[in-house]
Each structure stands twice: as C-alpha cells, then as structure tokens.
Structure 1
Amino acid sequence: MSAGVRALTRRVLNRTLLERQLLTRRVSRTPREAIEHLVAMQAQVPNGPYVGLWARLENFRRDDLTSLLEGRDVVHATMLRGTQHLARGEDFGWLRATVATLVRSALAQPYYAAQIEGIDPDELGRAGRGMLTGRTLQRRELGDLLVHRFPGRSPGRLAEAFELLEALVHPPPHPIWGGWGHRRGTPVALADEWLSRPIADASQPETMVLRYLAAFGPASVMDVQAWSGMTRLREIVEGQRPRLRVFRDEQGAELFDLPDAPLGEPDAPAPVRFLPAFDNAVLGHRDRTRVISEENRRRIAPRASAGVPLFLVDGFVEGSWSLTRDQLRMAPFRPLTDAETAAVRDEATHLARFVAPDGTEPAIIMT
C-alpha cells in the first residue's frame, strides 16, 4: 500500500456510515428511494423494515411501505446472505441472479440434504414452477403439493428447497405488510410472473459492489463479502480499482470507496436511533467496530441469531430494546449520562407512537 494512502479513524468511518445509511438525520426521500439507496433492506423479522425506514425517513407511515409492496414496486424475497430482504422490483432481477449460486448452495446443508437426497434439482424446479404458475400459494400449500410428487419427504423442506432453486417473492397478504405481530405463514409466487419481467440471465457483481459502496463505503473486500454472503470478490473489486478511491483503516486494512462519495466529519453530532434486528447499518461489514464495539458485539452474540433490536448513542450501539404489546423496554450496555438517558427516552417515545398509532402506546421502561 502506498505511504500516501489516507488513514481513516473509526469515528470518521462511523460518521460516514451514519450518513450513507441515512441515520444522521431523517431525510425527505421516499421509502422506494431509501430502499434503492440501501440496495436491499433486511426483512427477516416481521415489521423490521417498517422500523428501519421510520428511523431514516421524515414523516414515514406504515402504509407508505405497504402500498409499495402491494403495488409491486418493492418485493420481499430471499437475496443477500441467503436471507430475506426487501428490494426494488427493478433491482431484484439482477440482485437475485448475482447471489443465485450462494442461495442454491444452501441445499448442501444437512437441514435440506436429507430431504432432497435422490431428487434431481432440475426436476424439483420444473415441478414447483408448474404448481405455482399463474397463482400464489402459501408455502405450506406448495409443500403439500410437492410431497405428492416426491413422497416420503418433508413438505416444508421441499418448498424451501424449491425456493432456493427458483426466484420467488413473498407477495401480500403477508403479516409483515402492515400487520404488527408475528408471521403466520408465507405466501410465495414466481418472481418473473409477479414482476412481469424475467430474472436477469447473468450475474452482475460489479453493479453490486458499486451499489454497496454507495451505501456502506469505504469498505474492504471482506466487508463486501460479509454483507452479500458471496466469496471470491477480490478480483471484482480489483477490476474496479482504477475507478475507486483507496483508504486504509487504523489497523492498515485497505478500504475502497466511490470517487465522489463524501466522508463524514468525526465531530458531527449523531442522534439516538432505534434500529430493528439485523439492520443493514450493523450487519453491513465484516469489521463492525465502526458501529459496535467488540465488547458489545460479544455481549449480543449468543442472541444474535434470533435477532437483537439495538439502539445507537452518539452513533454507536450502546443498548438493546424489545417491544411487547404493553412495553417498550430498553437495556443499555453501559451507564448512560443524564443527557443520553433523556435522548434515549425521547426517541423511545417517538417509536412508541409509531408502533401504536391508535393511541395505545406501550409503557417505556429503562432497565
């Protein structure tokens, strides 16, 4: 690495991430524009995208996202890291094609392998497409049909395996859309039919890398791979090097960024923000110390697989929160100052009003 390459401090990376993730202040973008900028929003947990957009956008209402989903401008489907995300309908085709090999590789896991052993994947794909063509089914309904074609298997595993093979979307009605509770079932439809456009024929990793940097940069190759779930992206990034700026972090790791993307000011103020479980801002890098300390990451690690909603104080994760019908409970990871406590409670009050627009707000409790 050249001695002239600029080193970026952790606070510069933090403030830059907040700006790129629309968390420095609520912005006037539409939900569609925000989802496009973020490339894809994690949607593994019911209602997570609603809280994630509320944290980023001015005057966001739950119906704003629901109408996009009903209008097919935004889709919910399996994408990055083989998990469920929201993306613009126009982006889904190339994004799903880019991560298709990654998604399909999950079939080798014991969770699926025992149930599809001896089944030709192409045959499973053809059978599933025939059953879904022209209609939407609950995933369990699709599984029941598939098990008649492939007896002696688990209906649920067959349906999930088919979704790894073929690009599907989860259309409304779905409890995540506008409902506020737990998922009771997942409807599935063929993505090309739902969107009235074919899925892209070819992977577009160059596009994915550049879009990622716009929302998450500066970042290392390992960061891009951690966010996307893909491997062997070094060659893709190297191919873009002449068009990118190169920095390094405090440990000397090489970071890449778009040439005209601004960096954050280390002393810029950062508001308290409540983030849903698996939010992009926290999961977008392999080295997450720009937003959460190693100590706090280890603190939540035993619960992370189930999803941990978190809140930011001065731009960094300093606590978790949970919501029930009656309570919005916050658990700071360290003693907060009086000013920090007041700011956290104030933002929690706004969140309580958002999740309970009918006026039955949950009690706010700091543990």
Structure 2
Amino acid sequence: MADVLGGRALNRALLERQWLSARRDAGAVGPVAAMEHLAGMQAQAGDAPYYQLHARLDGFTPRALSDALTDRAAARVVLMRGTIHLVSARDVLPMRTVVQPFLDTVLFHSTAGKQVAGVDPAAVTAAAREVLADGPLANEELGERLAGRLPGYEGNALAYLARCLLPLVQVPPRGVWGQGGGLVYALAEQWLDVEAGTGRAADPATDATPDDLVLRYLAAFGPASVADAQKWSSLTGLRAVFERLRPRLVSYRDEAGRELFDLAGTELPDPGREIEPFLLGPFDNALLSHADRSRIIAKEYERKVFTHNGIVRGAIMLDGFVAGLWKPVLKRREATVEFTAFRTFTRAERAALEQRAAELLEFAAPETERRRTVFTEP
C-alpha cells in the first residue's frame, strides 16, 4: 500500500522544491537557472517575478533579472493556463509547443475570440508572421496591420488571437524593473535566435511531448496528482502521460485517498522541519499549481489572496502556510510594507516579519531613506 502523506509533509515538499524552505545563493544560481528549475514563473505583473525570486535567492538584485530580459536570455510569453510566464530562452518554444493545444481550444471562447468569430486561424497566423517579419511591433500597430490584411475584424482582437496562435514574446522594456512599458510583440524565433545570434531557440521543438513537462512539473511541485498537473498546465488527458511515465515515478496517497506521483528516488523532507517566516511574491506559482491548494493555503483564505479580477496578492508565510497579505508601497521619499494579518500574530512573528520587510525594502527601494512597516490585524 502506498504511503500516506499529510498536509505538512506535502507543504514541506513543496517549499523544498520551490526553494522557499531555504534561499539559494544568487551568486551560484542566477535568475535564468532559477526560472528553469521552477518550470517558469507567472508574470502577469511586471514586478512580480522580481519579488518571487527575492524570496528564493539570497543576494538577488533586480538588475540580474532585468539584464536577463534585455540580453534575451529570458522572455515573457503566454504559456500555462493562458497566462504570461517568464521563462528562459531555451524553454520558450518547447513549453509553448506542449501547451499550444490548450490555447487553440480556448482562444475563441475568450472575449476577444468572440469578437472575431469566423476568422480563419491560419490566415491570422500567416498575416501575423508577415507583419512581424521586419521586427517587433506595438500591440496597437500589430492590430492595425492585421486588420488591414483581414478586413471586417477588430484589430485588438486579432492581435490577441495572434499571441495565442503564435509564440509572441513581450519585448523589453516590458518587465524591466523600474521601467515597464507598453506591449510590444516579436516572433519568438526571431527575438531569441536570429536577432540575438545565440542559437538558443533555433530548435522549433516540433517533437516536444507533455512527458518532459510533467517530469519538470513534479520536480518543481511534487508530489502531485494528475489533477494537480492539469491545473498547472491547463492540459487535459494527462492520465495517459502519467501511466506512461509510471516506471519512472513513485506513488503516494494523500489523506483523502488521492494518488500522488513523484520522481522516483526523490527524498521527501522532514514534515517537522521548521520554516522561517517569509514573503511570497504576487502571482507566485507555488499558490497556483495544484487543484488542491490546502498544502499551502487554507480554503477560507483563498478569496483574500485571489481576487475576483484575477490578481494574486503577495502572501505572508508563517510556518510554511499563508497567514496574511503584504504589499509594498514605494514612493520617492518613503517606502512601506503594509501587512494584513488573517489572525493575530505573536510578538516573535511580528519581529520576524519586520525583519523580512526591512530586507525586502533594501531590495526594492535601496535609495529610499525612510522605510516603514505597517500591520493591520483582526
């Protein structure tokens, strides 16, 4: 009979895989290696990956990730769950190839898709490749040019379809710390290979399968169920993939009797391991990548962290579980971390969180002299 893993065992395993139980040395592990280990980072907000990496890498600076983007070693692209992810240049095309069937299925059910009902996807793909052949285009211009080639359809909706049908990367300064910028798209194979001249993205990954993606998911988020993997990827039919991979996996059960899979030979951490308080960044995949999130967040807290309009707030983590919210308020003369507690914190917990806030503000606002921490408790 398979071993049964309780909530703390799953929590400690997840934190260990996610590099959240102990931070790695940023001098030894850079942001590109980190995002590859994590199988990508959700990046709906431009600054979110910076805070996600700050929680995992000791000595990490915003410039390290900004340089990875401007040097084209990493890119922002639509991937799992149809959301913007930050991944290494090596991962853009292989990952996109695997999740493309999901994007092909859902794009016409979106608001933009309904606005262009009846359009030929192949025509959109061909037109987008043609107009982007000479280099990146702002979203508005991309839409206008597509509308010129496909009259009768709304330009912004066509641009949305194009980013779903093709691996279009968001060009910097979008996602660069302290800069941001409007949406500018480029063909991934051009931006990451031809123009950069690195060869990193030369393989079109036509032979990619879900198998490698499932193995990487388990390495970053396991032990996990088939439903968990499908929640993370939005792919369906993964049961067959897990069965095919079963000789390379080990099986457990959770307390509800669900079968959980993990990479064979992977040692699980001690469920009793102490976890120091830390601040989990906004949109962190540690919160988003399981059908059953109880290993990291209580059900009654989910609506406080996940808003109705798709925002995923930064979370206070105590003993490895969500215990509140945090938000940075960065102004020219003052920088503040605002804490919202879901329960009353002990004096020791408050002291530890004040230290985490001081570290975060040193990271995010090093030149701001006045720094504050504000607590709101029930």
TM-score (norm 1): 0.94
3-state SS in 2 of match to 1:284:
coil
1:269 and 2:274 aligned: yes
Q: Is the 8 A contact 2:116 2:154 kept in 1?
A: no
What is the aligned partner in structure 2 of residue 194 from structure 1?
191
What is the aligned partner in structure 2 of residue 213 from structure 1?
218
1:321 and 2:326 aligned: yes
Q: Using the aligned pairs only, state the percent identity.
A: 39
Q: 1:221 to 1:86 in 2, by over 3 A?
A: same
Deviation of 1:202 (Å): 3.5
Summarize deviations over 1:48-71 as a string: whole Å, max 9, x none: 000001110121011111111122
What is the aligned partner in structure 2 of residue 168 from structure 1?
168
Summarize deviations over 1:233-269 as a string: whole Å, max 9, x none: 0000011112111001111110000012121211111
What is the aligned partner in structure 2 of residue 356 from structure 1?
365
Deviation of 1:364 (Å): 1.6
Q: 1:127 to 1:226 in 2, by over 3 A?
A: same
- Show structure 2 runs of 5+ residues with no match: 194-201
The root-mean-square deviation of aligned C-alpha atoms, in Å, is 1.6
Q: Is the 8 A contact 2:55 2:281 kept in 1?
A: no
Instruction: Map 1:250-269 onto structure 2 (within 5 A).
Output: 250-269=255-274
Instruction: Map 1:116-195 onto structure 2 (within 5 A).
Output: 116-174=116-174, 176-179=175-178, 183-195=180-192
Instruction: Map 1:21-170 onto structure 2 (within 5 A).
Output: 21-28=18-25, 29-170=29-170
Whole-angstrom distance in 2 between the partners of 1:300 and 1:31: 25
Matching residue's letter, 2:126? R
Q: Is the 8 A contact 2:52 2:282 kept in 1?
A: no
Q: Is the 8 A contact 2:330 2:365 kept in 1?
A: no
Deviation of 1:302 (Å): 4.1
Q: Is the 8 A contact 1:66 1:177 kept in 2?
A: yes
1:287 and 2:292 aligned: yes
Q: 1:92 to 1:5 in 2, by over 3 A?
A: same
Q: Is the 8 A contact 2:306 2:312 kept in 1?
A: no
Whole-angstrom distance in 1 between the partners of 2:134 and 2:267: 46
Bigger strand fraction: 2
Whole-angstrom distance in 1 between the partners of 2:249 and 2:220: 15
3-state SS in 1 of match to 2:24:
coil
Deviation of 1:149 (Å): 2.0
Q: Is the 8 A contact 1:99 1:203 kept in 2?
A: no
Whole-angstrom distance in 2 between the partners of 1:19 and 1:178: 27
Deviation of 1:96 (Å): 0.2
Q: Is the 8 A contact 2:51 2:282 kept in 1?
A: no
3-state SS in 2 of match to 1:364:
strand
Matching residue's letter, 2:23? R
Whole-angstrom distance in 2 between the partners of 1:199 and 1:30: 26
Q: Is the 8 A contact 1:322 1:330 kept in 2?
A: yes
Q: Is the 8 A contact 1:106 1:164 kept in 2?
A: no
Summarize deviations over 1:249-295 as a string: whole Å, max 9, x none: 11111000001212121111112221222201111211111100111
Deviation of 1:132 (Å): 0.3
Whole-angstrom distance in 2 between the partners of 1:165 and 1:223: 25
Summarize deviations over 1:67-111 as a string: whole Å, max 9, x none: 111222111100011100011111221110000011122322150
- Show structure 1 runs of 5+ residues with no match: none
Selected match of 2:253 from 244, 248, 251: 248
3-state SS in 2 of match to 1:99:
helix
Q: 1:91 to 1:110 in 2, by over 3 A?
A: closer
Whole-angstrom distance in 2 between the partners of 1:230 and 1:101: 8
Whole-angstrom distance in 1 between the partners of 2:355 and 2:309: 26
